[in-house]
Chain A
Amino acid sequence: MNAFAGSIDRPSSYIGRSVSRPNAKRLLEGRGRYVTDLVLPRMLHAAFVRSPYAHGKIVSIDIEEAKALSGVCAVFTGEDLASICAPWTGTLGHFSNMKSLPQVPLPLGKVMWSGQPVVLIVADSRAIAEDAAELVIVDIEELPALADPVQAMSAAAMSQELGDNICFATKLDSGGVEEALDAADTTVEQSFVFGRHTAVTLEPRAIVADYDPSENRLTAHHATQTPYQFQDIYSRHYDIPEANVRVIAPDIGGSFGMKLHVYHEEMAVVGASILLGRPIKYVADRMESFVSDIHARDHRVTGRLALDRDGRITAMDVDDVTAIGAFSSYPRTSAVEGNQVIRLMGAPYDFSSYRANLSVVFQNKVQTSQYRAVGHPIACAVTECLVDAAARELSLDPFEIRERNLIPDSSYPRTSPTGYQFEKLSHQVCLARLKSIMNYDALRAEQAGLRQKGILRGIGIALFVEITNPSPAFYGVGGARISAQDGAILKLTPSGEVHCSISVTEQGQGTETIIGQIVADQLGIDREKVRVMTGDTDTTPHGGATWACRGAGIGGETALQAARKLKANLLAVAGLILQAQPGELDIRADWIVETVTGQQRISLAEVARIAFFRSDTLPPETQAQLSVVHHYAPQGYPFAFTNGAQGCLVEVDAETGFVKILKHWVVEDCGRIINPLLVDEQVRGGVVQGLGAAFFEECLYNEEGQLTNGSLADYLVPMACEMPDIEISHVETPTRDTELGAKGCGEAGTAAASAAAMNAVNDALAGHGAVLTQIPMTPTRILKALGTI
């Protein structure tokens, strides 16, 4: 229980230090090795023919001309791959009555969204494969498309096997909501629309599948955050022994949750490699990414809040309809987002009556699924906008109404009305800190002064709770073969360095950096002497990898415990060499020292030399254990919840509807901070994605279910010019479930940025009769809300 107490001043103390990323220089110099860079002997290239319709019956596919084109190796359609690939279904056992159609790599009779891959062409080059794709004739009889989430609730089922278009529905009811609403002095109700957006990673999805029939062995070089999950999936769906499947995730250019889902293209390419016995590369281009990467969000929420005359929340009532696409994604499903939306509602506040209705509905669109801050921004925006609406109604300052309603920092542990167990959160400290770093009173005074000159500034705040360090309660209990534990192997080299291979993975956020820091810190050696390897199922232990904010909390704890184990082994050997008690020795700055005096006795390199090469000089029967393997699975609380508060300052041009984001503030508490620099950048990146959702990013569909802005010219990602300075402050409340005490921080920024931005815009427009409850808040929507157009 937090026996760890790192003094930042001692030598080799790295936990809590802003050290740079060892891999940054390599990537900056262009020496990264991404899947795209890989060239294998006899490698072929894949391209797909995609459905132009959102819904339709495949009448015929003519591939003869494509097959005959010089340079084309093979052309595959649905039956070719379905015959060797077991179908997959995106449901989980703990979401009762959830349903989704089984999926196969390429469709067998119907297309379900515009952009769905229908035919796979494998050729000597991607260009030739695309030439051939133009020669394929797919005759599709168009069917009516489900493109409106609300209509989907009552419309005829898109597929007879489904019966209706509801993928999953659930209710939460703590009781007492009706009574509280009846008894309330004030109730506020708002309806929200949250658009679809998508991850837009710098590196698109990519795979080189390389099947060797002589050994029945599949090697997949795959741009994924979860290589172990894919090892399991390729093994089971293509009936290859798990040990014969190797998944290598090399350098990855961002993932944000998008690169852990099963995609039809990757499954098809693996199948084609098995059929052809040759390596095949597929790299999604940006147009393909827009129509095949998972999308996220897409919610229509109505929320009600009941308050007493003192402005205390007494009850919350929520209805969420979320549209997911034609299939629930696999293996994590598309219901987790909605489930987390309804369970995170109202999380910072002290009330007990809560009721929620969730409907997850199918659409003829590409799948939605887990993306950074799953469900959090929706729950946060609904809650925080309702709290601000109540504050306006009651003429309370936004800080004041929150101070009255927060769960007191002294009252933990707590269980939320939705069933979440909070070990210890710090809302009151965070809110007070936010007020101070924003210089709130001065901002309000400035706002009032500018308003006299017709300049509309708005100040918004939002509190959030984030889910991190997930236990098997997340996926394992539902039957998914997704590990909640992680494993690490630490090996001493004969020169006294340490090699660490660990199952958490790196996508640019600095996982390898913090693991190296923890290992060096715990062993007492220079950070330069620790080499961290990730992302290869053959050389690292099986583990959960990186998702849902678990790399630092779970992977970090794994590394910490492994390092302590190796240290005990090394001190035992050193004790034998020095004829001293291991308990009286320590390792500091690469030397074995006397713990009490700090006197250097023998270098770690010398211990290694003796142990590896002169074991004859050690006492008989000594078997020095110079490598350790260690696994760690989270225990105690099912999740380590974190919290924080954000503030946003905007200026709205009421004539044009344009918004300038002037400043953003974040106070967040992710427990023990391992590397403040990386935490800050995680938070900043998260805020930018949240502000992207608030102002820019939206996948727009027409009534036929066609994506109308599927390019980077039309889909607006937030760019540096439009982003404000983001000031960050930390509160540290370590979890006592681990020695390290770290919780996640990767989703904190995204969780509340859009909520703070909505509150800021609505604060700017207060008095103009306009309330925005839809994101992104585009100039058009702002002018419509103002009645200008």
Chain B
Amino acid sequence: MKARAFDYMRPKCVQEALEAFVSADGDASYIAGGQSLVPALALRLQAPGLLIDIARLDELRGLSIADGHLRIGATTRHCEILGSDLVREHAPLLAKAAPFVAHPAIRNKGTFGGSLALADPASEFPAMTLALDAIIEIASVEGSRRVGAGDFFIDLYETALQPGELITAVYVSLATAKTRTAFDELARRRGDYAIVGAGIDAEMQGDFVERMRIAFLSVGSTPVRVGAVEAALTGRQLTPQAIRQAQDVLGTELDPVGDEHTPPEMRRHLARVLLGRLLGRLEANV
């Protein structure tokens, strides 16, 4: 299929991009890597009158340490996350999830901010943003605001972003000596959207869990934090028995959806298996 005709512009700064959206009366879409938007245009699932290309705006690029956080510019590409020493050191969970994001060709173009803005519940980075309790910086013609990841994902492909708003950066708290992370997913083929995936960001002293955040992908209409499981594990030792109990809590906490390949009970079962394996890795500290 071919996209419907559209206008295209490449603004010189974020402000110009934001104003262009307003001028288009909302009949516009920002485009950066285009890895989700372009197929949607070709399939005519979306047909904005104007594409505002933000891929080359320097303000939106780059990885840096700022204010005690790792700042990830919105148009940082997946491959840059994957190859970054800063990410490996300060946000090891993202480094672990990055190899699972699609295929190299997609990682070369797709952007971190774009992935969050689309909020596909099966994507790795939105869920990991949740597991990292990251802060999302959003710009509009009215100014800039910050939203916690926990308040960002609202429903299927629905986020806290208002029309015309643009993610500019994401801030992640820096890992400490106590940080332990684990990520894995179950996909029929390498690089596919996973049947289920999960990432854990924890602070531990030995096998004692001081803090733990767990986020799942592909189990609902948004990325999902499992607070009851986190609560069941926090403030206690991570033993095989604790892991089994956490799996049982997860079984009641998750309410996954099915699709043509995978009934809900399969997804719930695999989520339990995956949680057990990830917690096992944290326990073994590997």
A contact residues vs B (CB 8 Å cutoff): 125-127, 130-131, 134, 285, 287, 655-656, 658, 696, 700, 708-709, 713-714, 716, 718-719, 721-722, 778-780, 783, 788-789
Check if B2 sits within 8 Å of A656, measured CB to CB: no
User: Which chain A residues border B193 with CB–CB below 8 Å?
Assistant: 713
B43 located at the interface, meaning its Cβ lies under 8 Å from any Cβ of chain A in the complex: yes
User: Which chain B residues border A783 with CB–CB below 8 Å?
Assistant: 266, 269
B257 located at the interface, meaning its Cβ lies under 8 Å from any Cβ of chain A in the complex: no
Besides A656-B270, A708-B260, A789-B263, 14 other A-B contacts (C-beta < 8 A): A125-B2, A127-B3, A127-B5, A130-B4, A134-B44, A658-B186, A700-B260, A714-B260, A714-B261, A719-B191, A721-B191, A779-B266, A780-B262, A780-B266
Check if B265 sits within 8 Å of A656, measured CB to CB: no
Check if A722 sits within 8 Å of B260, measured CB to CB: no
Check if A287 sits within 8 Å of B1, measured CB to CB: yes
Chain B 1-17, CB within 8 Å of chain A: the 1/0 string? Answer: 11111000000000000
User: Which chain B residues border A719 with CB–CB below 8 Å?
Assistant: 189-191
Chain B 245-266, CB within 8 Å of chain A: the 1/0 string? Answer: 0000000000000001111011
B195 located at the interface, meaning its Cβ lies under 8 Å from any Cβ of chain A in the complex: yes
C-alpha spacing A721/B191, complex, angstroms: 10
| Cβ-closest chain B residue relative to A655 | B273
Check if B189 sits within 8 Å of A789, measured CB to CB: no
B192 located at the interface, meaning its Cβ lies under 8 Å from any Cβ of chain A in the complex: yes
Check if A779 sits within 8 Å of B190, measured CB to CB: no
- For chain B residues 168-195, which have a beta carbon within 8 Å of chain A? 186, 188-193, 195
Contact of A780 among B1, B192, B261, B273 (CB under 8 A): B261
C-alpha spacing A783/B260, complex, angstroms: 16
Check if B1 sits within 8 Å of A716, measured CB to CB: no
- Closest chain A CB from B267 CB (angstroms): 10
| Cβ-closest chain A residue relative to B1 | A285
A788-B269, A789-B265 as given contacts; A696 in contact with B189, CB under 8 Å = yes
- Closest chain B CB from A542 CB (angstroms): 37
Check if A287 sits within 8 Å of B43, measured CB to CB: yes
The 10 A-B pairs of least Cβ separation, nearest first, read A127-B2, A721-B190, A708-B260, A700-B260, A789-B265, A780-B266, A655-B273, A719-B189, A126-B2, A789-B269
C-alpha spacing A34/B36, complex, angstroms: 28
Query: Would you call the interface of chain A mostly helix, strand, loop, or mixed?
Result: loop
Contact of B188 among A131, A287, A696, A789 (CB under 8 A): A696
**What are 6 residue pairs bridging A and B, where the CB atoms are less than 8 Å apart in the complex?**
A131-B5, A287-B43, A696-B189, A700-B261, A713-B192, A780-B262
C-alpha spacing A718/B192, complex, angstroms: 12
User: Which chain A residues border B273 with CB–CB below 8 Å?
Assistant: 655-656
User: Which chain B residues border A714 with CB–CB below 8 Å?
Assistant: 260-261
User: Among the interface residues B1, B262, B265, which one has the most CB atoms of the partner chain A within 10 A?
Assistant: B1
User: Which chain A residues border B189 with CB–CB below 8 Å?
Assistant: 696, 716, 718-719, 721-722
User: Which chain B residues border A721 with CB–CB below 8 Å?
Assistant: 189-191
C-alpha spacing A428/B263, complex, angstroms: 45
User: Which chain A residues border B261 with CB–CB below 8 Å?
Assistant: 700, 709, 714, 778, 780
C-alpha spacing A656/B3, complex, angstroms: 40
User: Which chain A residues border B263 with CB–CB below 8 Å?
Assistant: 780, 789
C-alpha spacing A722/B193, complex, angstroms: 15
- Closest chain A CB from B276 CB (angstroms): 9
User: Which chain A residues border B262 with CB–CB below 8 Å?
Assistant: 780
User: Which chain A residues border B43 with CB–CB below 8 Å?
Assistant: 287
C-alpha spacing A714/B188, complex, angstroms: 11
- Closest chain B CB from A771 CB (angstroms): 19
User: Which chain A residues border B192 with CB–CB below 8 Å?
Assistant: 713, 716
| Cβ-closest chain B residue relative to A717 | B189
- Closest chain A CB from B283 CB (angstroms): 17
| Cβ-closest chain A residue relative to B272 | A655
Check if B4 sits within 8 Å of A131, measured CB to CB: yes
C-alpha spacing A441/B266, complex, angstroms: 36
A700-B260, A716-B189, A789-B269 as given contacts; A779 in contact with B195, CB under 8 Å = yes
- Closest chain B CB from A196 CB (angstroms): 13
User: Which chain A residues border B3 with CB–CB below 8 Å?
Assistant: 127
- Closest chain A CB from B201 CB (angstroms): 24
C-alpha spacing A689/B44, complex, angstroms: 31
| Cβ-closest chain B residue relative to A658 | B186
Check if A130 sits within 8 Å of B2, measured CB to CB: yes
- Closest chain B CB from A136 CB (angstroms): 14
C-alpha spacing A655/B269, complex, angstroms: 9
- Closest chain B CB from A131 CB (angstroms): 7
- Closest chain A CB from B148 CB (angstroms): 31
- Closest chain B CB from A496 CB (angstroms): 47
| Cβ-closest chain B residue relative to A45 | B2
A287-B1, A656-B273, A722-B189 as given contacts; A130 in contact with B44, CB under 8 Å = yes
A131-B4, A788-B269 as given contacts; A656 in contact with B186, CB under 8 Å = yes
C-alpha spacing A779/B263, complex, angstroms: 11
Contact of B190 among A125, A287, A722 (CB under 8 A): A722
Contact of A709 among B1, B4, B260 (CB under 8 A): B260
User: Which chain A residues border B266 with CB–CB below 8 Å?
Assistant: 779-780, 783, 789
- For chain B residues 16-50, which have a beta carbon within 8 Å of chain A? 43-44
- Closest chain A CB from B282 CB (angstroms): 18
C-alpha spacing A783/B270, complex, angstroms: 10
C-alpha spacing A228/B266, complex, angstroms: 50
User: Which chain A residues border B188 with CB–CB below 8 Å?
Assistant: 658, 696, 716, 778-779
- Closest chain B CB from A651 CB (angstroms): 15
- Closest chain A CB from B263 CB (angstroms): 7
| Cβ-closest chain A residue relative to B263 | A780
C-alpha spacing A716/B259, complex, angstroms: 14
C-alpha spacing A716/B4, complex, angstroms: 28
User: Which chain B residues border A789 with CB–CB below 8 Å?
Assistant: 263, 265-266, 269
| Cβ-closest chain A residue relative to B277 | A655
C-alpha spacing A134/B44, complex, angstroms: 10
- Closest chain B CB from A697 CB (angstroms): 11
User: Which chain B residues border A718 with CB–CB below 8 Å?
Assistant: 189
User: Which chain B residues border A656 with CB–CB below 8 Å?
Assistant: 186, 270, 273
- Closest chain A CB from B94 CB (angstroms): 23
C-alpha spacing A722/B189, complex, angstroms: 7
User: Among the interface residues B190, B193, B195, B261, which one has the most CB atoms of the partner chain A within 10 A?
Assistant: B261
C-alpha spacing A655/B280, complex, angstroms: 15
- Closest chain B CB from A242 CB (angstroms): 36
C-alpha spacing A285/B261, complex, angstroms: 24
C-alpha spacing A417/B147, complex, angstroms: 74
C-alpha spacing A705/B102, complex, angstroms: 31
C-alpha spacing A722/B192, complex, angstroms: 12
- Closest chain A CB from B99 CB (angstroms): 12
C-alpha spacing A713/B36, complex, angstroms: 12
User: Which chain B residues border A713 with CB–CB below 8 Å?
Assistant: 192-193
C-alpha spacing A131/B1, complex, angstroms: 10
C-alpha spacing A721/B192, complex, angstroms: 12
User: Which chain B residues border A655 with CB–CB below 8 Å?
Assistant: 273
C-alpha spacing A788/B272, complex, angstroms: 12
C-alpha spacing A779/B5, complex, angstroms: 42
C-alpha spacing A718/B190, complex, angstroms: 10
C-alpha spacing A722/B191, complex, angstroms: 11
C-alpha spacing A131/B4, complex, angstroms: 7
C-alpha spacing A517/B265, complex, angstroms: 57
Check if B1 sits within 8 Å of A130, measured CB to CB: yes
C-alpha spacing A708/B258, complex, angstroms: 13
C-alpha spacing A789/B251, complex, angstroms: 13
